[in-house]
Structure 1
Amino acid sequence: MKVDKRLAVQRGYNNCELSKEKKKKQKKNKKKKSSMPKVVQKLYETCKQVFAEGGADFVPSPEDIERLRSVLDSMKPANVGLTPDMPYFKATETEETPLVTYLHLYECDKFSIGIFCLPPSGVIPLHNHPHMTVFSKLLFGSMHIKSYDWVADRPSSANESVSSSYLPSPGIHLAKIHIDSDFTAPCDTSILFPASGGNMHCFTALTSCAVLDVLGPPYSDSEGRHCSYYNDFPYATFSGDTRLLPEEDRQGHAWLEEREKPDNFIVDGAMYTGPKIVET
């Protein structure tokens, strides 16, 4: 918050006559204001260091993961210029499916930073993050997250590959549920990896909410990092699938089928108006 010097003049003070206590408050408020842009800048600089050697399938070291997670965990909506009363977070009565808004902060060939703004009942459908490590920070609001990882081996025998004869039909593959829970800010940053951690996930807004995403590296069709979408089916949907898993494990698995991007999923790009990132 900025201290308006005119108030001091109106009350019969000048800069020399301000008490030590008032000067201290003024300095504190000035410091608070000046720190706002630094949070976004620190995020950028940390990403630049963490993903410096990055590329497809790159996973940062545990130390770097914690360093970036710590920066994201500390972020608040105000740090990126967001408030829940902005138009992005309001669903209109004429929309059958609420519009999702994307705010672009930064992108290079190593990483990208952006914010998804969802009104209540907004959905980001089930999709993947091929060859990427992704950090997601819920800035405010509540959402349901469901995520999956592919099952490469039969859970009952790690040395036996899943034979195509066990699959219900071509294009449908077995996945294990990683997360199926509600989250409310403030909460810890979630992290997914190229082959684990819930690489395929779906977001459903329970209230208006905002999610800040860091992708390393970003999507790139030319480099084989294309975003794919999926339908998911309960494990018991297909006949014959009982041969794959013991009964006690079936609730934790599902079948995924790749699909085209849903027609009703519309992402509207909007201008990011928060503190700017200065490239270094």
Structure 2
Amino acid sequence: MTVLSKILYGSMHVKSYDWVEPTVLASNQQVRLAKLHADDVLTAPCPTTVLYPQSGGNLHSFTSVASCAVLDVLAPPYAEDAGRICTYFNDYPFSSFSSGRAKTFDSPDNYAWIEAINSPVYINMRPGMYTGPTVQDRLS
């Protein structure tokens, strides 16, 4: 899934990760290792961000710093039957868990352990389908 995000107004903290490949799991825990891609506060107006399925911080979280709105365009959209599910997560510092392979990573501040969680009750999203003109792909 590719994600385009645009802050419409206000500012928010954006934190994003990409999975470490091959998969690294913590010993005796349900957490997986990810590499930090971005940890920034963005304020409108700012450029649109693009997250790709395997890179660019596809595991991401938004936290409001001031009143804000973000337009998040997902292509293709979430579809559980097609394996594109919306998953929520907690992130933990690298030092929180251990793994046999994890010792080989330099700069531990650039890594975090990701744990899938149930949907938070405080989420406020408004899903919708694009009903505008057909978007033409101009890639050659």
Normalised by the length of structure 1, the TM-score is 0.43
Q: Report the CA distance shift for 1:250/1:268 in structure 2 as closer, same or farther (over 3 A).
A: closer
Deviation of 1:230 (Å): 1.1
CA distance in 2, matches of 1:269, 1:174: 30
- Percent identical: 47
Question: Does structure 1 residue 173 correspond to structure 2 residue 26?
Answer: no
Q: 1:187 to 1:245 in 2, by over 3 A?
A: farther
Which of the residues 85, 95, 111 maps onto 1:226? 85
SS at match of 2:107: helix
State the 4+ residue runs in structure 1 displaced beyond 4 angstroms: 268-271, 276-280
Q: Counterpart in 2 of 1:138? A: 7
Q: State how 1:121-270 maps to structure 2 within 5 Å.
A: 132-153=1-22, 162=24, 167-238=26-97, 240-241=98-99, 244-245=102-103, 248-262=106-120, 264-267=121-124, 269=126
CA separation in 2, counterparts of 1:223 and 1:179?
A: 28
Q: Give the drift of 1:261.
A: 1.1
Work out the number of aligned pairs and report it. Answer: 133
Q: 1:141 deviation in Å?
A: 0.8
Cα-Cα RMSD: 2.6
Q: Which structure has more RCO (C-alpha within 8 Å, separation ≥ 6)?
A: 2
Unpaired segments ≥5 residues, structure 2: 135-140
1:270/1:137 CA distance change after superposition, 3 Å: closer
| Cα distance in structure 1, aligned partners of 2:127 and 2:106 | 46
Specify every segment of 5 or more residues in structure 1 that has no aligned partner in the other structure, as ranges. 1-131, 154-160
- Separation (CA, whole Å) in 2 of partners of 1:233 and 1:198: 16
Q: Could you state the TM-score of these two structures normalised by the residue count of structure 2?
A: 0.82
Deviations 1:31-86 (A, max 9, x none): xxxxxxxxxxxxxxxxxxxxxxxxxxxxxxxxxxxxxxxxxxxxxxxxxxxxxxxx
Give, in whole Å, the separation in 2 of the partners of 1:168 and 1:258. 16
Structure richer in helix, relative to its length: 1
CA shift for structure 1 position 189: 0.6
Match of 1:122 in 2: none
Which of these two proteins has the greater Rg computed from alpha carbons? 1
